[in-house]
Amino acid sequence: MDNSSWVDTSLDLNINPLRVIKSDAPVDAERFGMPRKMKPAFMDFQTKPSAKEESSLSFEVDFIFYIYFQTGALEEELSRVSEENRKLTEMLTLMCENYNALRNQLMDCMSKNGEKELRGPSKKRKSASSNNNDNNIAMNGNSESSSSDEELSKKPREEVIKAKISRAYVRTEAGDTSLIVKDGYQWRKYGQKVTRDNPSPRAYFKCSFAPSCPVKKKVQRSIDDQSVLVATYEGEHNHPHPSMEATSGSSRGLTLGSVPCSASLASSGPTITLDLTKSKSSNDAKSSKPKTDAPEVRQFLVEQMASSLTKDPNFTAALAAAISGRMLQQNHTQW
């Protein structure tokens, strides 16, 4: 996906290096662009002091003015950086909107394909490639909220309940080999299997409230990125979220409204993880969509992307190079 045509990602880092005022330079506020009425009173003295006093006073005045000027310069710089920040935020918002539009198109295509398969007589077992396709959709969010082929191939002995299937992607520590996805619910592991399409074992969990709660969870490491756990939830909890009953904060993930959410930056791009398992009060199709349009989510995405950028050593190195380059350039032209 080529985003370069959407937004101008070049950063106009208009950095003014801090100037050092020579002590013998005339104190002229307007020379530095300071408004006449802001000119400090100490600049208006007319009486000529003694030579010793003049030397000392000149230094003090210059020092005070230096501080005054630097404060103004910093404020100016701050406003400029704020403006840059605002522009970047707008760019990120635009990117999020474009992403949402594309995702909606993808959802439309997937739902149309699902309808086709529903009509068709194919009883073909879910192939390994379909699993890979799921993995390739890094930010599928609510895709499984609609019926998927996996669901359609369910055994007939299972009731025709429209088991909601959602998928969550969770980044783990590099050395973490456990298949534990902390989503606030309590799970009981009942099996583990090595599947053909992925060398990593797949763990099977049932909700601890079983058999009253029919929710199952499968956890397997992503074949693309071993540090990413793919958790597939089947069904809906028929009991409140444990963290809702207990005091808030027991859940590890960041909670946005009723949508537990976490995000991370994978090597291939940002990974947004939405835990779409919900309480039964929200089974209508409308509310089963992730609230990516909500301002909180948008703000969260922006903050996550910004923090990911600042944590990226390549980005900080490039930023430092750009700033130092600009400063050197200005040093040469002004000093």
Partner DNA sequence: CGATTTTGACCTGCGC
Partner DNA sequence: GCGCAGGTCAAAATCG
Which residue has 């079983």 as its token pair?
A: 210
CB 273 within 8 A of CB 71: no
Stretch that binds DNA, among 39-47, 122-130, 269-277, 299-307 (CB under 7 A): 122-130
Q: Does 195 bind DNA (CB under 7 A)?
A: yes
| Nearest-approach distance from CB 240 to DNA, in angstroms | 17
Q: Which residue has the tokens 């929200």?
A: 282
Q: Are 169 and 273 in contact (CB under 8 A)?
A: yes
246 binds DNA (CB under 7 A): no
Between CA 205 and CA 215 the distance in angstroms is: 9
Q: For residue 84, give the H/E element and its range.
A: helix 51-119
Q: 257: closest CA among 241, 270, 269?
A: 241
- Taking CB under 7 A as the criterion, the residue among 80, 87, 202, 291 binding DNA is 202
What CA–CA distance (Å, rounded) separates 44 from 28? 10
In the set 52, 123, 286, 332, which binds DNA (CB under 7 A)? 123
For the bound state, the minimum distance from the C-beta of residue 317 to DNA, rounded and expressed in Å, comes to 41
From candidates 65, 187, 233, 300, binder to DNA by CB under 7 A: 187
| Alpha carbon distance 170, 80 (integer Å) | 37
Q: Which is closer to DNA, CB of 145 or CB of 198? A: 198
Can you tell me which of 37, 112, 155, 286 binds DNA, judged by CB under 7 A?
A: 155
Residue 172 as a binder of DNA (CB under 7 A): the answer is no
Query: What does the alpha-carbon distance between residue 229 and residue 248 come to, in Å, rounded to a whole number?
Result: 25
Q: What DSSP character marks residue 143? A: G
CB of 160 to DNA, least distance (A): 14
Q: How far is the CB of 188 from DNA (least distance, A)?
A: 4
Of the two residues 156 and 295, which places its CB atom closer to DNA in the complex? 156
Where on the chain is the footprint of DNA (CB under 7 A)?
123-125, 128, 153, 155-157, 186-193, 195-197, 202-204, 208, 216, 218
